[in-house]
Structure 1
Amino acid sequence: MKAALQNYHARMQRVLDHIDRHLDDDLDLDALSSVAAYSKYHFHRQFTATFGLSVHRYIQLARMKRASYRLAYRDAQSITDIAMDAGYDAPDAFARAFRQRFGQSPSSFRKSPDWEPWLAAFGPLDTARSKLMQRTFTTDDVTIRDVPPTRVAIMEHRGDPTTLGATIQRFIAWRKAAGLHPKTSPTFNVWRSERCPASAADYSVDLCVGTDQPIKANGEQIKAGEIPGGRCAVLRVVGNTDNLEPAALYLYRDWLPASGEEARDFPIYCQRISFFPEVPEHEAVAELFLPLK
């Protein structure tokens, strides 16, 4: 029974990966049932039973999530192109659907996203993905590395985590103006609080970009800093890198007590290796670093 269930989950996982890779294609029932190796007459019911969403609804949400990321963080792409990539024949139809879901027009969202309705709208999609995408980590997934110190430019986010998206938007705009492209200047997040502290006002994270260049603030609150070098336990996470809390909990709660190591006096942090929507969501990569003595 266990082997049969694992096989079933693997086949459904193939479908989610295929959808991620082919959001621009015609994802009809014939193609997806073939990927899963199930009869098309039963596949849509199996999908709904497994994920709590119909195939059509899942694809709609996945396309709309990518579109919203592009609107907020990729200002070089036109709203018309984003609408077409999301499967809409005309920008007006996309704008109506977008406003209905998020309470903002695409152009308004691009200028000043309201992230609370956005988070609520994608709750069903995140729940569906988490059903099969929960990783169980083992000690074999953790390596110990000596990492060099890295000079960084820092934009701090302090306060309500639901407004983090706006800080990320400003951070991306600033680093673009500074010429610090992710392919040549590494991206880090340093967590100075829990992901969900008792008070939202206590949430604290540093958005960082590695650079040796003199820092030009360009009107933003940017400061220079350094991620210290030294020994670190490193855990690589592939897919679902929006929420790295399960990986962090594994390092702190399971790996660290069993390893005999001691944590150093610097917060846990991550390096963003590849990003959604530049890569399909299940191919996004982040490495989590737990500094050690």
Structure 2
Amino acid sequence: MPPFNIPIQYRQQYLNRIEMAMTFIDHNLTSDLDLASVAQAANFSPYHFHRIFSALTGETPQDYISRLRVERAANMLVKSPALSITEIAFACGYSSSSVFSRSFKKTFGVPASRYARTAPAELSGERKAVNPHLPRQDNFVLPEIRIIRAAPLHLAYFSARKGYSEASTKAVWQKLFQWAQARQLLTPATQLVAISFDDPEITPRNKCRYYACIPVPADLPLNSGAGFFDYPEHLCAVCRLRCDVAEFPAAYRAFYRNWLPDSGFIMADFPPYEVYYDAPDINPGSKYEFDLCVPISLF
């Protein structure tokens, strides 16, 4: 079968609709996702959707779903050790713990029960040494962590789905700023919120998902060009950090591996987010200053 070529004049329209499909998958990962429902969410014919999705993302829809599920499971094994294998399997959309176990071992080369105790360099399977050159700093000391009741957030976002590189994140912030300025949504008091969905020790670096966000009024039209993401009112662990971008992985690792297991809390079913106050782009020579905000719940 010849490759599926998309006319250049329609490419952005196709990309926008593929983003809708990927967002639908992201938000419904625990559901029984089928090709027809995902295609419908993006207003594509199911007869052509598979080829279009694969051509623009480099993954089939099913490969994308399977990868997100197994990566979500790996995150939960490391960061929610109180949950059983069966609980994690169902929380990630698997039909049974046996199906999950086969998929996990195929991907990471070790049983799910051993994954959290296995060093990345010792993994085999399809994910051997996902990001072998990721810098490690295991002596990162977290400042004081506060537990707060956070208000609901209605966020407009633009997404980068090719990693956390400076070029990728800068480009998506620029898109957001242009969109927000055109709608008079930027003021000196506007919060800048980033959502880093994926752990680069688990997800290949070029597939990590990143949202650049700002809070917006609830009555903003949904067809305004941005995506929208909602956090309900939630319990949140908050830590004010001031660090270089190279220290971000160590900060997250210190939170999840040092603080969380002894805290009496588990992760809530929402991704962590960062609320920014300063950055080198704003003040050259400065470090990033932000609140690392992790939604949590009681055991």
> TM-score w.r.t. structure 2 length?
0.50
1:104-144 deviation line (CA, Å, top 9, x unaligned):
2111113x243355585599xxxx93299961424859865
Residue 268 of structure 1 corresponds to: 288
C-alpha distance in 1 between matches for 2:244 and 2:62 = 40
Residue 252 of structure 1 aligns to a residue whose secondary structure is coil
Instruction: Provide the alpha-carbon RMSD of the alignment.
Output: 4.7
The equivalent position to 1:93 in structure 2, one of 96, 99, 121, is 99
Q: Secondary structure at the match of 2:32?
A: coil
Secondary structure of the 1:186 match is strand
* Distance in structure 1 (CA, Å) of the matches to 2:106 and 2:90: 18
CA contact (8 A) 1:191 1:204 kept: no
Unaligned runs of 5+ in 1: 146-160, 164-181, 197-202, 210-216, 221-238, 257-261, 279-293
| Residue 109 of structure 2 is aligned to residue 77 of structure 1 | no
Structure 1 or 2: larger helix share? 1
Q: Is the 8 A contact 1:191 1:269 kept in 2?
A: yes
Q: Name the CA shift for 1:40/1:204 in 2 (closer, same or farther; >3 Å).
A: closer
Q: Which runs of 5 or more residues in structure 2 are unaligned?
A: 1-6, 133-159, 190-199, 203-233, 263-269
> Counterpart of 1:7?
13
Q: Distance in 2 between matches of 1:136 and 1:121?
A: 27
Alpha-carbon shift at residue 55 of structure 1 (Å): 0.6
1:194-238, Cα deviation, whole Å (9 max, x unpaired): 369xxxxxx9658788xxxxxxx9xx9xxxxxxxxxxxxxxxxxx
For 1:10-41, what per-residue CA distance to the aligned partner results, in whole angstroms no more than 9, with x for missing partners? 21111111101111112111111111111111
Residues 1:62 and 1:95: Cα distance change in structure 2 (over 3 Å): same
**Hey, what does 1:252 align to over in structure 2?**
280
* 1:22 matched to 2:28: yes
Bigger mean CA deviation after superposition, 98-107 or 51-60: 98-107
What is the CA–CA distance in structure 1 between the aligned matches of 2:9 and 2:84, rounded to whole Å?
A: 47
The question of whether the paired residues in 2 share the 8 Å contact of 1:80 and 1:91 is answered with: yes
Residue 44 of structure 1 contacts residue 55 of structure 1 at CA under 8 Å; is this kept in 2? yes
Cα offset, 1:274, TM superposition: 4.9
Q: 1:36 to 1:206 in 2, by over 3 A?
A: closer
Corresponding position of 1:47: 53
Question: Closer, same or farther in 2 for the Cα pair 1:73/1:25, shift >3 Å?
Answer: same
1:31-58 per-residue CA deviation (whole Å, 9 max, x = no partner) reads 1111111111110000000100011110
The answer (yes or no) to whether the contact 1:19–1:27 under 8 Å persists in 2 is yes
Partner residue in 1 for 2:172: 135
Does residue 183 of structure 1 match 2:235?
yes
The answer to whether the Cα contact below 8 Å between 1:71 and 1:106 also exists between their aligned partners in 2 is yes
- Aligned 8 A contact 2:243 2:289 in 1: yes
Instruction: Tell me how far 1:89 sits from its aligned partner.
Output: 3.6
Q: Which has the larger radius of gyration?
A: 1
Is 1:33 the equivalent of 2:85? Answer: no
- Confirm or deny: 8 A CA contact 1:190 1:205 kept in the other structure: no
Amino acid at match of 1:186: V
* Residues 122, 5 of structure 1: alpha-carbon distance in 2 compared, 3 angstrom cutoff: farther
Alignment of 1:65-214 (within 5 A): 65-110=71-116, 112-115=117-120, 117=123, 120=129, 129-130=161-162, 135-137=172-174, 138=177, 183-192=235-244, 194=246, 205=251
Give the 3 Å change call, closer, same or farther, for CA 78–6 of structure 1 in structure 2: same
C-alpha distance in 2, partners of 1:3/1:240? 35
Q: TM-score, normalised by structure 1?
A: 0.51
**2: distance between equivalents of 1:68 and 1:207?**
14
Aligned length: 196
| 3-state secondary structure, aligned to 1:273 | strand
- Over 3 Å counting, the alpha-carbon distance change for 1:20 and 1:144 in structure 2 is same
Gap change, CA 1:204 and 1:142, over 3 Å in 2: farther
